[in-house]
Chain A
Amino acid sequence: MSAKIDLIHEQGLVVVHRFVQLMRTSRTYAVGNQTFSRHLAELLAGLEPLLADGGDMTLAVRAGDVYLNGSRLPLRQKSLRFLEAMADELGMRRIHGLVFRPGVTIPELEAFMRVFVPSEQFKGAELAASCVEQGLDHVAVLLDLEGIALDVEPAPVAPAEAPPALDENAPFGPALIAYEQALSGAERLFATGALEQGVEMRWVQRLVQPLADTIGTPEPATLALVDIGHEDSGGTHAVHVTITALAIGHALGLARRELSDVGAAALLHDAGQPEIVRVLGSQMDHWSAADWKDAQQHTLLGVRRLAVATPLGPTALRAMRVALEHHVEDPQRASLLAQIVSCADAFVSVLAHRAMPGSTLTPYEALGRVLAGYGERWHPAVRIALVRGIGLYPPGQVVRLDDGTLTRTVAPTADPERPLVEAIADAHGTLLTSAQRWLGPVPAERSIVAALPLEQWPAAQQDERAA
């Protein structure tokens, strides 16, 4: 369904809300009363966007459903009462709908409400006749649905550039689908201000759960860590941290409920960053030492943002705690949950440096740097779980087998020292063709003898880095 149809539906729900609210107001205040008039103005304000294109706006009711211009308004928890109330109000007056036309004014709406409100007086044909007698040109009632097309399916709107559909039966299909959906969802969460408008944690968890499903399987979403870039957006970074945190959590043996919370907290851990960027500017190279000190406040800002954005429940509380604590250095002060996300965040961030032009850092070296430089912040079990979760040779690392074959790591397995690999070059360093390659766990008879530094990687990758 196109975004435009969604917006029309949303506005239609607003109109229904305001109409029902107006009817409730009429029980207390007479038509013409100041309070009533204020609600009437709000109703008109709600109608105007729907009349803007010059066409009539029809609200029709059939079998309890409310249709806006032939398209059924969606049923939602908070709207259902109002949709039902709308249907009741019309049913009480033995009509099937209302029609509003461009150019409708407040006086006309008021005149309409004077005959509409007293339901015991005007019903059905009498109501319709009263509207005519009042000279109402821009408001009318529907006595039946003849000629009104309902269940109109909106024409599908083809996206300008539809991404190629991922095949769930392809290698790593489910993981990639989950990854793509998580990226898309995270981008909308952070880039469109959805947090400011409020979000329920169940929807955040909906993004995380499919990723969690792949962790610990032969085709986990951890392979997406090869996709980490230096200029990743906040949403993309959040998804990478989520995947890593889920891998750590799985390695720690956390239950599904806890994994889900880990993932949600990881997704939201940097909720406070956009505000910092907004204030200090996006040119981080120009930030002063004082700016960087201020930037540390993003943890508290994250708490503040999440506190307002989502209803408080156990998952939301955990997310806020992680937002607050994920840079705490003392492992006795930071919660274990925050340490999991902190560890994941550190690894993803350091790994992202690898993608900077001129960087010679490999995934294996990044892991070493993180464990050596930040390891004391985290419980030893968390550090162990990081290695078990992403492998001793993280995805993207080139390793040499004992027979000289060069392989690149694809994903971790149950043995962190024997990952899933793809052969890329022979013992002489000659790159293999796609037909010569194989992908699988390190064969039982083979072992990894070295994680290669960047200068020893096959020529194609090195040249790219040098550029």
Chain B
Amino acid sequence: MSMPPTGRRTRSGLSPAALDAADWLEQLERLVHLARRHGPYASHVRNGRERATVDGVHLVHDHGPIVLTVLPLEIRLAHESVMRAEGDEAGHPTRGPIERQLPAVLHQQGLRQLSLLDDLTRDEMLTLVQILLDVSTAHDPGDDLVTLLWRAGLAHVRVRSAASAPLQDAEPGHSPSAPVRVQAADLVDDRPFDQVLSGDSFSRHQEPPPPSSDITSRTTFPAVFGDPFAIDGAPTGPAPATSAPTAGEPAPADTHFDDWLIPSEDATAGALWQQLVFDEDRHAADFQERWKVETSPTHATQVRAFVDEVRAADPSEDMRDAVLTSLVSWVANAVQHCEWSEARQALDAVRTLDPDGSRTEAPLAQSLAGLDRDVVAERLDAATQEEQARFFALAVAIGRPILDLLIHVLAQAGRARLRAAATTALAYTCGDQPDALRPYLNDSRWHVVRNVVFALGQIGGPAVMPMLVSASRHLDTRVRRAVVQALGQVPAPQRTPLLVQQLDSSDVPLLQHALQLMTREPDARAASALIDRISAPDFESLSPERKLALLQTLADVADDQAVPALEQLLHRGGWFARRSPERTAAARTLARIGSPLAMAALQNGLAARADAVRLACADALDQPRTAP
């Protein structure tokens, strides 16, 4: 099957129903992309949802029933392909990654066929579209499309789903020795089966359920259970449909024991029933009331209560670890759904059992590593400042396990504000252990490395120095500039050698930054390095900006040690010396040094034969004794 050319779908030959279905599916796919970015309940997503609802209803009314078959890379209406995963000639997806194109999204959710029946109402379509948006924004291990549709009980929507669960799916980066948390093993065979979604009526066969009298026409009790009363050759004895035990596994019955004794109390069910049913309404009302109380607390509250009960019943280490595993999964799931408040609640629950995080650092890292990070990054990029702040506060609270995700957010961020916030979060997260950022300095994306360097600068201190040294060799100038900026937070004694290395940089802004830092605290090494540069044979070949920058800085850090080199520079050219910014700067620097030796050099200069020299010295002496 060959893919169509990039960006264009061939629609010729499609029936009117298929064309309309294709349009509607495209609309849904765009809506799903929007919902991924902004959340399923953002205002413009809601607008799109309304339009998709109306168009969907029209589709069904005009061409219904609509039966869509879902394949991993394609959706079909009968035999017509109405949507395909698209790629260019090299197979690279063109409507976003393949797994985010609608066929893959629906297929992954377990959908194999979606039937929209005649008389589908607007409310049903709205529910269908909203459910699709809810599940498409992030994977949920508990509630997928099929489950949510089932719960909705839509009378005019039928679903054929995959009965089987995905087979084992190794965690990314799984190594044989690492503990593995995998997805579901096979549960049942792969035959698809219909799921009746109607809540009230058994509408499987599209006709109303047969009236009671019709059932009498079927005279056979299902033979699969055998017939102990058969007298004319019908099979006797039960024929249970259980599977044979797997070789090597204990026999199925061996995993179960009977934990209920037969009560000795013997009362007829009929009599007990009459007693019970006498007050049925009152009991029902009381049950509903209690049920409401039981189910009304938030999930977070219920979790906390349950954890307390379990720990009280079993305070062992094994139980604590098991509960922590569960709570970690809660954190990860909430992060995946960008539910920052819930994630924080989950994290608080984790910290209650693991205050220093030592038990959960690795499992958290592993769980967070398995998330679809693009979803989180995209959502944050479009989020409000407040939401972003909540995420970053959460990230700081989680610490190192969330580093990969933070870096990913940083790398994907399209807005400066988000990048800045992510960088700050990195600094806070790694403030005590800046070495955690080391691996990210090798990232192939310059802007990631640059921002990591920023974070190191925010952390400051001697501990970041080795990493800044490493980053100072980065190929990209922008990274090296960031390194110099970051050095501002490193104590002068540690940073000076690296600053000195920057004196040879051809990048003037970088050089100027480095020189600025040098002037903050006097350092003989800095002065010495500057003098060496000025005295070097190739000083003349430097660009005027670099020469001036070096000379100007020398004025702030130099002492009499610099006078010979400055004097040499002042008189360079001899009889043929001409006016130049460097000569002027050299004179002014001598004036700024102001020592007897420096002033003597200037006085000598006033008596020089070359006009340029005399003028430079005269200018310098007339200038106030401040920075040139």
**Taking A384-B283, A440-B216 as contacts, is the C-beta distance between A313 and B142 under 8 angstroms?**
yes
Cα distance A347–B56 when bound, in Å? Answer: 47
A176-190, CB < 8 A from B: 176-181, 183-185, 187-190
**Minimal Cβ-Cβ distance residue in A for B441:** A28
B500 nearest CB across to chain A (Å): 29
B172-193, CB < 8 A from A: 172-176, 180-190, 193
Check A76–B276 contact: CB distance below 8 A. Answer: no
User: Does chain B have a CB within 8 A of A169?
Assistant: yes
Binds B, one of A50-58, A106-114, A136-144, A273-281: A273-281
User: Does chain A have a CB within 8 A of B206?
Assistant: no
Check A314–B299 contact: CB distance below 8 A. Answer: yes
B300 nearest CB across to chain A (Å): 10
Cα distance A209–B159 when bound, in Å? Answer: 12
Cα distance A384–B279 when bound, in Å? Answer: 10
Cα distance A236–B195 when bound, in Å? Answer: 22
B184-228, CB < 8 A from A: 184-190, 193-196, 199, 202, 204-205, 209-210, 212-213, 215-216, 218-222, 224-225, 228
**Minimal Cβ-Cβ distance residue in A for B302:** A317
User: Does chain A have a CB within 8 A of B150?
Assistant: yes
Check A368–B266 contact: CB distance below 8 A. Answer: yes
User: Does chain B have a CB within 8 A of A235?
Assistant: yes
User: Does chain A have a CB within 8 A of B90?
Assistant: yes
**Taking A236-B242, A441-B215, A464-B228 as contacts, is the C-beta distance between A372 and B272 under 8 angstroms?**
yes
B522 nearest CB across to chain A (Å): 40
Check B228–A460 contact: CB distance below 8 A. Answer: yes
Residues of B within 8 A of A310 (CB): 141, 329
Check A233–B185 contact: CB distance below 8 A. Answer: no
Residues of B within 8 A of A313 (CB): 140-143, 299, 330, 333
**Taking A235-B242, A439-B218 as contacts, is the C-beta distance between A375 and B272 under 8 angstroms?**
yes
User: Does chain B have a CB within 8 A of A101?
Assistant: no
Check B147–A260 contact: CB distance below 8 A. Answer: yes
User: Does chain B have a CB within 8 A of A311?
Assistant: yes
Cα distance A458–B172 when bound, in Å? Answer: 63
Residues of B within 8 A of A193 (CB): 185, 249
A1-20, CB < 8 A from B: 1, 6, 9-10, 13-14, 17
Check A440–B213 contact: CB distance below 8 A. Answer: yes
A169 nearest CB across to chain B (Å): 7
User: Does chain B have a CB within 8 A of A431?
Assistant: yes
Q: Which of B194, B196, B229, B325 contacts A308 (CB 8 A)?
A: B325
Cα distance A45–B319 when bound, in Å? Answer: 34
Main secondary structure of the interface of A (DSSP, over half): helix
User: Does chain A have a CB within 8 A of B69?
Assistant: no
Q: Which of A91, A203, A434 contacts B230 (CB 8 A)?
A: A434
Check A408–B258 contact: CB distance below 8 A. Answer: no
User: Does chain A have a CB within 8 A of B108?
Assistant: yes
User: Does chain A have a CB within 8 A of B153?
Assistant: yes
User: Does chain B have a CB within 8 A of A437?
Assistant: yes
Return the CB mask of A205-243 against B: 1 if under 8 Å, else 0. Answer: 111011001100111000110110101111111000000
Check B240–A229 contact: CB distance below 8 A. Answer: yes
**Minimal Cβ-Cβ distance residue in B for A424:** B229
**Minimal Cβ-Cβ distance residue in B for A45:** B176
B200 nearest CB across to chain A (Å): 9
User: Does chain B have a CB within 8 A of A371?
Assistant: yes
A-B contact number at CB 8 A: 472
Check A198–B184 contact: CB distance below 8 A. Answer: yes
User: Does chain B have a CB within 8 A of A329?
Assistant: no
A75 nearest CB across to chain B (Å): 5
**Minimal Cβ-Cβ distance residue in A for B107:** A75
**Taking A191-B245, A300-B319 as contacts, is the C-beta distance between A276 and B257 under 8 angstroms?**
yes
Cα distance A74–B143 when bound, in Å? Answer: 22
Main secondary structure of the interface of B (DSSP, over half): loop
Check B265–A440 contact: CB distance below 8 A. Answer: no
User: Does chain B have a CB within 8 A of A401?
Assistant: no
Check A384–B276 contact: CB distance below 8 A. Answer: yes
Cα distance A327–B261 when bound, in Å? Answer: 12
Q: Which of B97, B229, B273 contacts A80 (CB 8 A)?
A: B97
Chain B: interface size category: 35 or more
**Taking A210-B193, A308-B322, A380-B283 as contacts, is the C-beta distance between A233 and B175 under 8 angstroms?**
no
User: Does chain A have a CB within 8 A of B338?
Assistant: no
Check A439–B216 contact: CB distance below 8 A. Answer: yes
User: Does chain B have a CB within 8 A of A387?
Assistant: yes
Residues of B within 8 A of A176 (CB): 222, 224
B232-273, CB < 8 A from A: 232, 234, 236, 238, 240-243, 245-246, 249-260, 262-270, 272-273
Check A361–B262 contact: CB distance below 8 A. Answer: yes
Check A42–B218 contact: CB distance below 8 A. Answer: no
Cα distance A314–B319 when bound, in Å? Answer: 20
A214 nearest CB across to chain B (Å): 7
**Minimal Cβ-Cβ distance residue in A for B241:** A180
Check B232–A433 contact: CB distance below 8 A. Answer: yes
User: Does chain B have a CB within 8 A of A381?
Assistant: yes
Q: Which of A177, A410, A437 contacts B193 (CB 8 A)?
A: A177
Residues of B within 8 A of A364 (CB): 268-269
Check B322–A335 contact: CB distance below 8 A. Answer: no
Binds A, one of B28-36, B308-316, B476-484: B308-316
Check A315–B142 contact: CB distance below 8 A. Answer: yes
Residues of A within 8 A of B165 (CB): 199-200, 203, 206
Cα distance A74–B165 when bound, in Å? Answer: 13
Cα distance A431–B161 when bound, in Å? Answer: 44
Residues of A within 8 A of B250 (CB): 191, 277-278, 282
Check A184–B269 contact: CB distance below 8 A. Answer: no
Check B141–A202 contact: CB distance below 8 A. Answer: yes
User: Does chain B have a CB within 8 A of A192?
Assistant: yes
Check B190–A324 contact: CB distance below 8 A. Answer: no
Interface centre among B184, B205, B309 (most CB of A within 10 A): B184
Return the CB mask of B278-314 against A: 1 if under 8 Å, else 0. Answer: 0110011011101100110001001100100110011
Residues of A within 8 A of B290 (CB): 336, 379
Check A197–B196 contact: CB distance below 8 A. Answer: no
A426-455, CB < 8 A from B: 431-435, 437-441, 451
Check A312–B151 contact: CB distance below 8 A. Answer: no
Return the CB mask of A244-276 against B: 1 if under 8 Å, else 0. Answer: 000000001101111010000000001001101
A200 nearest CB across to chain B (Å): 4
Q: Which of A28, A188, A235 contacts B439 (CB 8 A)?
A: A28
**Minimal Cβ-Cβ distance residue in A for B250:** A282
Q: Which of B187, B204, B253, B272 contacts A232 (CB 8 A)?
A: B253
Residues of A within 8 A of B171 (CB): 78
Residues of A within 8 A of B196 (CB): 174, 210, 213
**Taking A284-B257, A369-B263 as contacts, is the C-beta distance between A27 and B172 under 8 angstroms?**
no
Check A384–B277 contact: CB distance below 8 A. Answer: yes
**Taking A233-B252, A336-B290 as contacts, is the C-beta distance between A200 and B141 under 8 angstroms?**
yes
Cα distance A78–B168 when bound, in Å? Answer: 11
Residues of B within 8 A of A170 (CB): 222
B215 nearest CB across to chain A (Å): 5
**Taking A64-B87, A200-B142, A439-B219 as contacts, is the C-beta distance between A260 and B150 under 8 angstroms?**
yes
A111-165, CB < 8 A from B: 151, 163
User: Does chain A have a CB within 8 A of B73?
Assistant: yes
Check A372–B266 contact: CB distance below 8 A. Answer: yes
**Minimal Cβ-Cβ distance residue in B for A25:** B173
User: Does chain B have a CB within 8 A of A303?
Assistant: yes
Check A381–B326 contact: CB distance below 8 A. Answer: no
Cα distance A113–B25 when bound, in Å? Answer: 42
B191 nearest CB across to chain A (Å): 8
Beyond A314-B142, A384-B276, A433-B231, 8 additional contacts (C-beta under 8 Å) are A38-B175, A42-B176, A76-B108, A82-B172, A174-B196, A185-B188, A303-B322, A324-B309
- 14 A-B residue pairs with Cβ-Cβ distance under 8 Å, sorted by A, are A74-B72, A176-B224, A188-B188, A193-B249, A197-B184, A226-B238, A256-B152, A303-B319, A312-B330, A317-B306, A371-B273, A373-B264, A381-B284, A408-B221
By Cβ-Cβ distance, the 4 closest A-B pairs, closest first, are A373-B263, A233-B252, A80-B99, A381-B287
